[in-house]
Amino acid sequence: MKILEKVKDNTFLIVITVAYILMFLIKPDLGVASMENSVYYIKEMILIMPVIFILTALLDAWIAKEKITKYLGKESKVKGITLSFVLGCISAGPIYAAFPMCVMLHKKGASVRNLVIILSSWAVIKVPMLLNEAKFLGIKFMAIRWVLTVIAIVVFSWIASKIIKDEDIGKKEEKTSGLTLNRESCMGCTLCTKNYPEIFGMQGKKAYIKSFDAEVDKESLSQTILACPVRAIHYNE
């Protein structure tokens, strides 16, 4: 059973490994090129993600939940849609940098529709990309493509909000005597296991609660909760 659980937890990694082996066997040149690209992106993620985790934690601490709910929540309407487009358009960095931030925004009240708009605009209409697009393909091409893309994002974000419910995001929770860990939101950064290894451990690249009792060091636990970049840990006495 343990072997099957390990395989299930690492299905994606196993599939990728098999794909690389097949590429090296069938077409070695393609395998080498793919491996070089993978190494490049892994290095990029190692450099970028710690910074993103820190920025996300700071934004979480600085911005009140009421503000997020007011400007990006379900009742924000046109105001929320506009702000979501602005946030996505002025962003910098690769799209995967947006995921921890979106987890944090959703926990503070941002709607599914606005999250879709932020991610979509971050990926395809952010300002640095538009400037390069206009330079190489012309302003007319860029403008028409931008308008059509914005319309498509608005439509698809509405459809997504009807299909995806709030409870569908980050729904795997582990709870022990008031201590809650959302494993779905966990990014596998290991900060909790380093800050409080007596309580938290890693399993399948996700944190889990090893043990917990009422005599926990409240200060250490509080620091661990604050250190989590996606606010996946909660404690209620």
Residues 6+ apart with CB under 8 A from 217: 196
CATH of 173-235, one of 3.90.1010.10, 3.30.70.20, 3.40.47.10, 3.40.1190.10: 3.30.70.20
110 pLDDT higher than 70? yes
Q: What is the pLDDT of residues 145-186, one digit of tens each?
A: 999 999 999 999 999 999 998 877 765 556 566 788 888 778
- pLDDT for 125 equals 92
Q: How far apart are CA 50 and CA 224, in angstroms?
A: 16
Q: What is the pLDDT of residues 186-208, one digit of tens each?
A: 888 888 999 999 889 988 788 98
Show me where the domains of the chain are located: 2-60, 64-168, 173-235
- Answer with the residue of higher pLDDT: 226 or 153: 153
- Stretch among 112-116, 138-142, 144-148, 224-228 having the lowest mean pLDDT: 224-228
Q: Could you tell me the sign of the dihedral formed by the alpha carbons of 206, 208, 210, 212, in that order?
A: positive
pLDDT band per the 50, 70, 90 thresholds, residue 19: confident
Q: How high is the mean pLDDT of the chain?
A: 85
- pLDDT for 142 equals 95
Q: What is the pLDDT of residues 32-81, one digit of tens each?
A: 888 888 888 888 777 777 777 777 777 777 888 889 999 999 999 999 99
pTM: 0.69
Name the amino acid, one letter, at 234: H
Q: How far apart are CA 181 and CA 57, in angstroms?
A: 17
Q: How far apart are CA 228 and CA 75, in angstroms?
A: 28
